[in-house]
Structure formats: structure tokens, C-alpha cells
């Protein structure tokens, strides 16, 4: 990741860091579930968040 080019010059505009994408990928690898299924099984269902869901941008 350190060798990836910047999206733009610092101060030119704002972009979220890619670290959150890496974290999501690690959760998928370690859990063996898609991120959407992991959130559903480990967060939303236990907390009875029945009206909450996660849509992945990866298809």
C-alpha cells in the first residue's frame, strides 16, 4: 500500500483512507464470510437491528 500513488495532491481535496477497505478484506479472509454476512451474523442479528443491512460495493 505504501507504494501506491496518491489519489491527488494533499490539500487539493479529501478522500477517505483505504485502510477501512483493508480491514473489511481482512474480516472476510479471517471469518470466511462476506462482509455483509459477517455484519449480519455478528453485529446486526445479536443486537436485533432488524432494519439495518450492509451492501457491499464488490460484486
Q: What is the pTM of this model?
A: 0.66
Grid cell digits, residue 42: 455478528
DSSP result, 9-53: -TTT-----THHHHHHHHHHHHHSS-HHHHHIIIIITTTT-TT--
State the pLDDT confidence band at 44, using cuts at 50, 70 and 90.
very high
Task: Summarize the confidence of residues 21-32 as an average pLDDT.
Answer: 93
The Cα–Cα gap between 36 and 52 comes to 11
Give the largest CA-CA distance in the chain.
43
Amino acid at each position: 500500500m505504501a507504494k501506491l500513488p496518491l489519489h491527488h495532491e494533499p490539500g487539493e481535496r479529501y478522500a477517505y483512507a483505504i485502510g477501512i477497505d483493508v480491514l473489511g478484506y481482512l474480516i472476510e479472509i479471517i471469518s470466511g464470510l462476506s462482509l455483509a454476512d459477517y455484519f449480519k451474523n455478528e453485529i446486526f442479528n445479536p443486537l436485533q437491528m432488524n432494519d439495518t443491512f450492509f451492501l457491499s460495493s464488490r460484486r
